[in-house]
Structure 1
Amino acid sequence: MRLQALQEPAVRYFLEVVKSGSVKEAALRLNVAPSAVSRQVARLERELDTLLFDRHARGMVPNAAGELLAAHAKRTQQDIERVASDIAGLRGLRSGHVRVVSTEGFAFDFLPTLISRFREKYEGIRFHLEVCTPSDIPRRIRDGEADVGMTLSALPEPSIKVELRHPCPIFAVMAEGHPLAAQRQLSLRQVVGHPLGLPPEGSSIRQLLDISCGRQGLQYVQAMSSNHANALVSFAAAGGGSIAFYGELSIRTLLKTRALVAIPLKDREMNERHLEVETLAGRSLPDAGRAFVRFLTEAIEETA
């Protein structure tokens, strides 16, 4: 078996088909003709003497051999990035690229602010921050599409290393002129009499709110719902007696610059959330990624 096809661009084209699920979409992303992608995939299959995809009318799905090759190719790609970063590190931490994935709440305020502070010290480091669903974050890390993830904790994920697990309680967020804004702590019994801006039912905030209200026999009025946390914060900031729910860490900068207050909730369920900083288990991150993970975890721990 000859292995020349395991070099670029064959593997790069193959990985793009794995990600996109079709030759046509992969060709668009690579800015090449679909025939070029097909030739490279066919070359891989010919030289490895095995099919790599299950072909369906709606696209292409890697089979067991394809999954094995994709995992190898991603590890190789990560090793090359790490070596390049280590070589650059011999000159000091002057360059690098860190790919971060997070849930919307952390991408709204906390992470952009922290990235800006990090770059004050290491201005040559570039970042890409992408918002994902909590379930998508570990997959992106495993697939080599991200270096660091920040999300709300759930069940343990295979191949994912938790660099930090930290309490992330839910606060009541409201305009500073709200009748409850002067309170140092609130209960849901005090809050549910006001119009609420709420995220979708599948979100951690909504689930914990419903559990706590169900336990206490409380009913609330949903004045507005949205899958965009920014919209809910703006709704609360506009006044009208409305209240939203958020992690205080996620909007700390906004609390300093806008007419908003965030008040802790004493109810048990609203204090059971935790955030996690995640990386790929067994992977040696490039210098820039390692430095940012240290910076990120230290910044979170300082909030305790």
Structure 2
Amino acid sequence: MLQPHVLKYFADVARNGSLRVAADLQDIAPSALSRQISQLEKFLDAKLFIRTAKGMQITEVGRELFLFVEESNRGVEALLHRIEEIDELRHGAVRIASIEGAITSFLPDVLARFSASFPGIKFEVVVCGSNDVAHRVGRGESEIGLAFNCPSREDVILRARIAQPLNLVARPGHPVFEGGEKNFSQLKEFQFALPNRRFGIRRLIDQAMHATQTELAIAFETDSLQLIKQLVSQTDMLTCLPRIVFERELSNQTLAAIPLKDSLCSAASIDIITQQSRTPSGAARKFLTMLLDTAKSTYS
């Protein structure tokens, strides 16, 4: 029978072409290693090496055995990896950083479905602005991030981009809706309630104002999208939000919206990111797959 430890000895000799080097790696005497190789050759009834003054020269049979050992090692590693993933799906944890907009839309549904399938998994969800999402993922504090218009960074990988153009949002029946979609230059007479600058949404609005040389009248700013939506639904103030943030209000007709005629706003997206230098845990990879599938099927 082929013994795993003997095959390991053989593979070390094959890689290094030397009994002494392989013996040092395995911390055994060269003579003991030589006996193991001889017994393996006897078992296989074939020469694995030709012993020369320059070292151990592998034979054709030896090369075939070496390929078998290497393939077997890869298979064992894959098996151990799968076992580790199964164990992580029983007892693992997933750390997520997300913008507020995602937690009011599809993210809770994915969390609920995943938790029902893998009840042993624990979640940590931190809600913060897009910059903080990217920082947390880049530093490894969160494994998965959902950010609005995530800037290009070397320490994160973009896994998916969900198109989410900015819309002009107001209460139903607001005069701003007359004549259809608007550009920023047509909105100077209105007051706005906007997210503060920790939000990717606000940074995009500021960029669009600068590009169009337009200054909006900002009457209210906050770090709460929920507060903005309530204010806009009860006053004549306007705001600019991606549809994902106000879908519920749109369906119950407490808010209405039209597109913004601006190339920057039209190209906006919610981005799903992971850290560049570290592979997510088995539980995080499984959740990421479900998250990506849901996002693509819902918003593609």
Give TM-score, length-normalised by structure 2: 0.61
* Counterpart position of 1:49: none
Query: What is the root-mean-square deviation in Å for CA atoms of aligned residues?
Result: 3.1
Shift of 1:193: 2.8
Q: CA deviation at 1:220?
A: 2.6
User: Is 2:182 aligned against 1:186?
Assistant: yes
Alpha-carbon contact 1:175-1:181 (below 8 Å) kept: no
| 1:156 is the counterpart of 2:152 | yes
Within-5 A mapping of 1:72-87: 86-87=85-86
> Of 259, 264, 268, which aligns to 2:263?
268
Give the helix-richer structure, 1 or 2: 2
Distance in 1, Cα, partners of 2:167 & 2:260: 6
Q: Say if 1:283 and 1:214 are closer, same or farther in 2 by CA, change over 3 A.
A: closer
Aligned-residue offset at 1:178: 2.2
Which of structures 1 and 2 has the bigger CA Rg? 2
Q: Are residue 251 (structure 1) and residue 234 (structure 2) matched?
A: no
* CA distance in 2: counterparts of 1:299 and 1:256, whole angstroms: 20
- The change in CA–CA distance for 1:203 and 1:147 in structure 2 (over 3 A counts) is closer
Deviation of 1:94 after TM superposition, in Å, equals 5.4
Q: How far, CA to CA, are the matches of 2:190 and 2:285 in structure 1? A: 45
Quick one: which amino acid aligns to residue 232 of structure 2?
A
Identify unmatched segments of 5+ residues in structure 2: 1-80
Q: 1:212 and 1:234 mapped to 2: Cα distance?
A: 24
Aligned residue for 2:16?
Answer: none
Residue of structure 2 aligned with 1:278, choices 267, 273, 276: 273
Matched, 1:133 2:129: yes
Query: What amino acid is aligned across from residue 88 of structure 1 in structure 2?
Result: D
CA distance 1:87–1:205, shift in 2 (3 Å)? closer
Q: Is the 8 A contact 1:108 1:230 kept in 2?
A: no
C-alpha distance in structure 2 between counterparts of 1:149 and 1:277, whole Å: 6
Asked whether 1:198 is paired with 2:194, we answer yes
Distance between the aligned counterparts of 1:125 and 1:180, measured in 2? 47
Q: Residue 98 of structure 1 contacts residue 128 of structure 1 at CA under 8 Å; is this kept in 2?
A: yes
**SS, match of residue 176 in structure 1:** coil
2:286 aligned residue = 291
Question: Paired residues, what number?
Answer: 219
Determine helix, strand or coil for the equivalent of 1:185: coil
The 5 A counterparts of 1:14-163 are: 86-88=85-87, 96-163=92-159
Query: What is the CA distance between 1:274 and its match in structure 2?
Result: 2.9
CA distance in 2, matches of 1:201, 1:296: 27
How far off its partner does 1:138 sit? 3.6
For residues 273 and 245 of structure 1, the distance between their equivalents in structure 2, rounded to whole angstroms, comes to 12
Cα offset, 1:265, TM superposition: 1.2
Residue 175 of structure 2 aligns to a residue whose secondary structure is coil
Contact kept in structure 2, 1:163 and 1:277, CA below 8 Å: yes
Matched residue type, 2:231: F
C-alpha displacement at 1:122, in angstroms? Answer: 4.2
Counterparts of 1:166-185 in structure 2, within 5 Å, are: 166-181=162-177, 185=181
Amino acid at match of 1:263: I
For 1:192 and 1:273, locate their aligned partners in 2 and report how far apart those are by CA, in whole Å.
Answer: 22
Distance 1:208 1:149, change over 3 A: closer
Q: Helix, strand or coil for the counterpart of 1:284?
A: coil
Share of identical aligned residues, percent? Answer: 24
C-alpha distance after superposition, 1:195-229 (max 9, x if no partner): 21012246443343344344445443222111222
Q: CA deviation at 1:250?
A: 2.9
Report the residue type matching 1:250 in the other structure. Answer: V
Aligned mates of 1:155, 1:213 — CA distance in 2: 18
How does the TM-score come out when normalised to structure 1? 0.60
